[in-house]
Structure 1
Amino acid sequence: MADAGPEIWFYHLERSTLDQVLPGLLEKTRERGWRALVRAADERLLDDIDERLWIYRDDSFLAHGRASEPEAARQPILLTDASENPNGAQALFIVDDAQLGDTKGFDRCFIIFDGRDDTALQAARVRWKTLKDAGANLAYWKQSPEGRWEKAA
């Protein structure tokens, strides 16, 4: 592969929900010292994620902001429905079938989809094939029966 684009990891949710998985992935991203951009097409989903990141654990929260708010560029985790990367994030999280867009500048992209939703599953399969045909650096993660993430492809 001539283009050394970002790693693009598909996360197939089967046993957990987005609310359960996303905060942990964001924590790991921050532990790497990376900034994150979470892109969703649905404003209500962004509202839900916004609230969840403040309360997902009793002893902690994930500092974040919205792209539409002041100081967006300073946020370690930024929630958006736009294609820009105002906080210079190294990690891009795609939820609810939002557009992947240009991945230049990202080290890793996460495409998180609900495998219990036939429409989301079909869209992820099409996206995988399109990216594979384009020579993208792909990985596919699924949950074991115990709920651990295992690399399947």
Structure 2
Amino acid sequence: MTRIDFHLNVSDHLLYTCRLIRKAYGSGLKIVCYSTRPEVLENLDKLLWTFSEEDFLPHVVSGHPGVADTPIVLTDKADDIAHYDLLINLDEQWPPFFARFERLVEIVGTDEDNKALARQRYKFYKERGYPLNTFDRASG
């Protein structure tokens, strides 16, 4: 069963996502970042190239060659996902294919609209019996 972690009070979603990706990739995990908004995936793609001078984070946007061989995939769909270690949700709704993954990370911002959408996702997962964890960035 998919383990779901909510990271709360994150001020910069994409920068925080890069940090999570670096940590997960360094641990040998393969990562999928999901959003239905093309601008989110485009901005994350750009940021991953400049995020760290010391770390190379090999990634590809879905639809491009090499998706199956690349450890970090940025996607808006489920049909070309080749690995299922970690899914990072950058969308406002739950990913329809999240149950394929060992772990799902939900990143929750500081504004009330974002928190309200996250509460809906939390309730959705909880009602289906998924193990949920929360990590509040405001407390440390």
Fold conserved between structures, TM > 0.5: yes
1:111 offset after TM fit, Å?
Answer: 0.9
Structure 1: gaps spanning 5 or more residues: 149-153
One-letter amino acid of the structure 1 residue matched with residue 117 of structure 2: A
Determine which of 99, 110, 121 is the counterpart of 2:115.
121
Distance 2:102 2:80 in 1: 13
Which residue does 1:7 correspond to in 2?
Answer: 3
In the alignment, the residues of structure 2 paired with residue 84 and residue 115 of structure 1 have an alpha-carbon distance, to the nearest angstrom, of 32
Shift of 1:103: 2.7
Aligned length: 140
The partner residue of 1:69 within 41, 64, 70 is 64
Give the residue type in structure 2 aligned to 1:13. Answer: N
User: TM-score, normalising length from structure 1?
Assistant: 0.83
Q: Which has the higher contact order (CA 8 A, sep 6+)?
A: 2
| Structure showing the higher strand proportion among its residues | 1
CA pair 122-89 structure 1, distance change in 2 beyond 3 A:
same
Q: Distance in 1 between matches of 2:51 and 2:27?
A: 20
Q: Which residue of 1 aligns with 2:54?
A: 59
1:143 partnered with 2:137: yes
Structure 1 equivalent of residue 104 of structure 2: 109
Q: Which is richer in helix? A: 2
- Following TM superposition, the consecutive aligned residue runs of length 4 or more in structure 1 with deviations greater than 4 angstroms are none
> Which stretch of the first structure deviates more once superposed, 128-137 or 57-66?
57-66
Query: In structure 1, what residue type is equivalent to 2:135?
Result: W
Which structure would you say has the larger Rg?
A: 1
Tell me if the contact between 2:108 and 2:115 (Cα under 8 Å) persists in the aligned partners: yes
CA distance in 1, matches of 2:113, 2:138: 22
Q: CA deviation at 1:36?
A: 0.4
